[in-house]
Amino acid sequence: MQVSIAMNKKRSWISTQLKEKLIHDFFFINGIISVIVLLGIFALLVFTSIPAFSEINIKEFLLGLEWNPTSYVKEVYGIVPMIVSTLMVALGALIIAIPLGVGTAAYLSDVARPRTREIAKPIIEILAGIPSVVIGFLGIVLVGPILAKIFGTHNGLNALNGSILLAVMALPTIISISEDALINVSDSYYKASLALGATKWQTVIKVKIPAALSGIIAACMLGMGRAIGETMTVLMATGCAPAMPESILGPVRTLTSSIAIELGEVAYNTTHYYALFALGLVLFIITFLVNMTSDIILHKYEKVNR
């Protein structure tokens, strides 16, 4: 009898051990999969891009001012106008979205009454669920004509239109994550600041936002990532003329829209095909740099904060 109990105990101990190990392995595999996928994508982009440069001069690719792989006369592959366009639209979107987003987050976390917050937050999050085609459509029929009227231009298909739409798309991310960061700031900071005689406004601006800055920066970077990678909206609303953009009120053509436009018709395994993967690689590197910069900023900030 006693022996059997001991055996049972031993068995259950082994099975617990086994379970522990299985669970451990399961989470390890989950963790490693995303790393493998990322490396796989990077490797694929690199290896599919390389053949492009057997025919394209890499200097011409990086510094060229004209992109026309289906030219009637001579194919040219220069990505500068697209990079300028991409950065223009994304930075424009951030300039619009950050003040609005952080302001809204501060309002929701510190000013709004709980009931208002309960209603407002889900509504803002629904905004994130609107498909990008719908936003692009609004850009064509609503934002475009309004911009044309305000600025007296011939049409509203320009970088500013794209920026406004991308700002709308980035807002839910920025608001939601910034608000979480603000709410997570320890209550003692808030009370201490008030006790020292600061007003509520001063407390929010000078204490809470700096304390939550890491979360807010992360939110803005995620928003920027979305803005750089978004395709359909900019494809529909920015005119997509491949020329070097002249102003924020002129048409632009981003890296993403070029890939989207040309990948559908390109013949496999041609220089043009490989060049489009090279564009994808450039896009990948840009987003990687954005993320790394934000990481460096965060770490610096954490050190200062300590």
Partner 1 sequence: MKRKIRSLALAAGVLSILASNVFAQEMLQIKGSDTLINLVQRLAEEYMEKNPEKYIAVTGGGSGTGIAALINGKCDIANASRLMKSKEVAQATDNGVEVNRVVIAMDGLSVITNGNSPVTQLTVDEIGKIFRGETTNWSEVGGPNMSITLYGRQSNSGTFVFFRDAILKGDYSQKMNRMNGNAQIVEAIKQDRSGIGYVGVGYVKEATGLNVLKVASRAGEVYASPLNSADVKSGKYPIARPLNQYINGTPVGAVKDFIKFELSEEGQKIVEDEGFFQIPNEYDEFNKKSGL
Minimum CB distance to partner 1, residue 62 (Å): 19
The stretch near partner 1 (CB under 8 A) out of 20-28, 41-49, 117-125, 258-266 is: 258-266
Which residue's CB is nearer to partner 1, number 235 or number 278?
235
Site for partner 1 in 57-116 (CB under 8 A): 66, 68, 70-73
Site for partner 1 in 107-166 (CB under 8 A): 140-141, 144-145, 148, 154-155, 157
For residues 168 and 174, give the distance between their C-alpha atoms in angstroms, rounded to a whole number.
10
Classify the phi-psi angles of 56: left when phi > 0, otherwise alpha if psi is within -120 to 50, otherwise beta: beta
For residues 178 and 187, give the distance between their C-alpha atoms in angstroms, rounded to a whole number.
16
How far does Cα 218 stand from its chain's mean position?
Answer: 10
To the nearest 10 degrees (0 to 180), the angle between helices 159-183 and 80-106 is 40
Tokens linked to 179: 């608000």
For residues 33 and 35, give the distance between their C-alpha atoms in angstroms, rounded to a whole number.
5
Minimum CB distance to partner 1, residue 233 (Å): 12
Map residues 223-242 to x or -, x wherever contact with partner 1 holds by CB under 8 A: ------------xx--xxxx
Residue 267 binding partner 1, by CB under 8 A: yes
Helix, coil or strand: residue 269: coil
Binding residues for partner 1, rule CB under 8 A, total 30
The residues of the shown chain that bind partner 1, judged by CB under 8 A, are 66, 68, 70-73, 140-141, 144-145, 148, 154-155, 157, 235-236, 239-244, 251, 253, 261-262, 264-267
